[in-house]
Structure 1
Amino acid sequence: MRTHLITGAGSGIGAVVARRLQERGDSVVLLARDAGRAREIAAQHPGATTLVGDLAQPGRLSWALSKQALPERIDSIVHAAGVVDLGAVADLPATLWEQQLAVNLVGPAELTRLLLPLLRVARGRIVFVNSGAGLHAHAGWSAYAASKHGLRALADSLRAEEAEYGVRVTSVYPGRTATPMQERVHQQEGRDYDPSRFIAPESVATTVLTALDLPDDAALTDLTIRPAR
């Protein structure tokens, strides 16, 4: 049985990945931003272990994790948490830049750094659920796209640095996916939301599990997924 740490397991892609891993008998450890959210996520995923650590405050993650019992083994981290706030560069305040960069980039970098010793022992896998915005930036998406472009750079550097320890690093770039985040994006864009037009989170989760399950003689480095419609 393998142990996987997942962020963003409260909804969307992260929730589906956590459920699918549990259904096949793996152990999951779910990161929550606070104790209240940890209780909610634990209720959604009976049998899962929760840890509390706020990705929006990367500088406090080390302290937060030092106060909790970490699993003895971690075979993978799936970074599925994220936030998005749209706006033109002329209008977007610094606080929204800081929040998106923290949750989408600096927080994952710091969490990975803290758990690398365990991942090295397990010769584990790291999957970053990135975004199409990590490859192309459009008007109104500057802060979010910058955080996701940075996440791509983080993954590329990490892959090169950790190869000698057998740690595999994958970036997945989904197009628009039918998640609560996508619904919020549509609200910000002022458009009606029709989830049937977009990728199902289950499809992205299948890609994540493929990256986790590849034999040791192969590594999935970058994969782009787009809606079929």
Structure 2
Amino acid sequence: MGTHLITGAGSGIGAAVAERLAERGEQLWLLARDAKRAAQLRERFPGSNTLIGDLGTPDRLSWALGQQTQPVELDSLLHIAGVVQLGTVGDLTTKVWNETLAVNLIAPAELTRLFLPTLRVSRGQVVFVNSGSGLAAHPEWGPYAASKHGLRALADALRGEEHGNGVRVTSVYPGRTATAMQQRVRSQEGLAYDADAYIAPESVAAAVLTALDLPRDAEITDLTVRPGR
């Protein structure tokens, strides 16, 4: 039985991954932005542990986590939480850029730094659930795509740095997935939302678990998941 720390477990892909791991009897540590959210996660995933930390303020994560009991063993750190705000470069303010980069890029970097010592001991794995926007940027997706391109660079750098320590690093690039975030995106685009038109979160979760379950003689570095219909 492994121990896994997950961000974004409250909905979408993060919830699907947490559910699959919980079904297997794995030990879950779930990051929540506040105490109310933490209680909701513990109710949804009985037997899980929670940590409270706001990804929107990554410079405070070290202090916040330092006040709480943390896992002594960790087999994987799964970065799945994210935010998106569409708009043109000519219209979006620094507030949007700062918020997007904080949650999608800087917080994952900081969490990884904080938990690397534990991951090294267990020769664990870091999984970044990225996005198709981490491979190509499109109009009105500037801040989100920039954060995801940065996340790809973070993963690539980390992989080279930690290979000798036995820490595996995987980036997963899902296409549009049927999540609450996708609903918000479609609303921002002024278009209808049809869950059947997108990848199911459970399918992306299956890809994540494939990377986790791969025998130790190999490593999935980059995994792209696209709609099959």
User: Same fold, TM exceeding 0.5?
Assistant: yes
Equivalent AA in structure 2 for residue 140 of structure 1: E
SS in 2 for 1:223: strand
- State the alpha-carbon separation in 2 of the partners of residues 146 and 58 from structure 1: 18
Shift of 1:192: 0.3
Q: Which residue of 1 aligns with 2:150?
A: 150
Q: How does 1:29-44 map to 2 (within 5 A)?
A: 29-44=29-44
Q: Which residue of 1 aligns with 2:77?
A: 77
Shift of 1:191: 0.2
Instruction: Render the CA deviation track for 1:191-225: whole Å, top value 9, x for unaligned.
Output: 00001000000000000001111111000000111
Q: How does 1:81-96 map to 2 (within 5 A)?
A: 81-96=81-96
Instruction: State the number of aligned residues.
Output: 229
Alignment of 1:5 with 2:5, yes or no, is yes
Q: Which residue of 1 aligns with 2:119?
A: 119
CA-atom RMSD, angstroms?
0.5
Shift of 1:34: 1.0
Alignment of 1:213 with 2:216, yes or no, is no
Q: Which residue of 2 aligns with 1:169?
A: 169
- State the alpha-carbon separation in 2 of the partners of residues 143 and 155 from structure 1: 18
- State the alpha-carbon separation in 2 of the partners of residues 149 and 34 from structure 1: 28
Tell me the TM-score normalised to structure 1 length: 0.99
- State the alpha-carbon separation in 2 of the partners of residues 114 and 71 from structure 1: 12
Equivalent AA in structure 2 for residue 40 of structure 1: Q
Alignment of 1:57 with 2:57, yes or no, is yes
- State the alpha-carbon separation in 1 of the partners of residues 206 and 94 from structure 2: 36
- State the alpha-carbon separation in 2 of the partners of residues 38 and 25 from structure 1: 20
- State the alpha-carbon separation in 1 of the partners of residues 158 and 177 from structure 2: 26
Identity of aligned residues (%): 66
Q: Which residue of 1 aligns with 2:188?
A: 188
Query: Moved runs in structure 1, 4+ residues, more than 2 A?
Result: none
- State the alpha-carbon separation in 2 of the partners of residues 79 and 217 from structure 1: 23
Tell me the TM-score normalised to structure 2 length: 0.99
SS in 2 for 1:107: helix
- State the alpha-carbon separation in 1 of the partners of residues 41 and 83 from structure 2: 18
Shift of 1:90: 0.7
SS in 2 for 1:115: helix
| Gaps in structure 2 of 5+ consecutive residues | none
Q: Which residue of 1 aligns with 2:130?
A: 130
Shift of 1:39: 1.1
Shift of 1:72: 1.1
Instruction: Render the CA deviation track for 1:73-119: whole Å, top value 9, x for unaligned.
Output: 01101100000000000111111110100000000000000000000
Q: Which residue of 1 aligns with 2:224?
A: 224
- State the alpha-carbon separation in 2 of the partners of residues 35 and 112 from structure 1: 22
Shift of 1:228: 1.3
- State the alpha-carbon separation in 1 of the partners of residues 90 and 228 from structure 2: 34
Shift of 1:152: 0.1
Alignment of 1:110 with 2:113, yes or no, is no
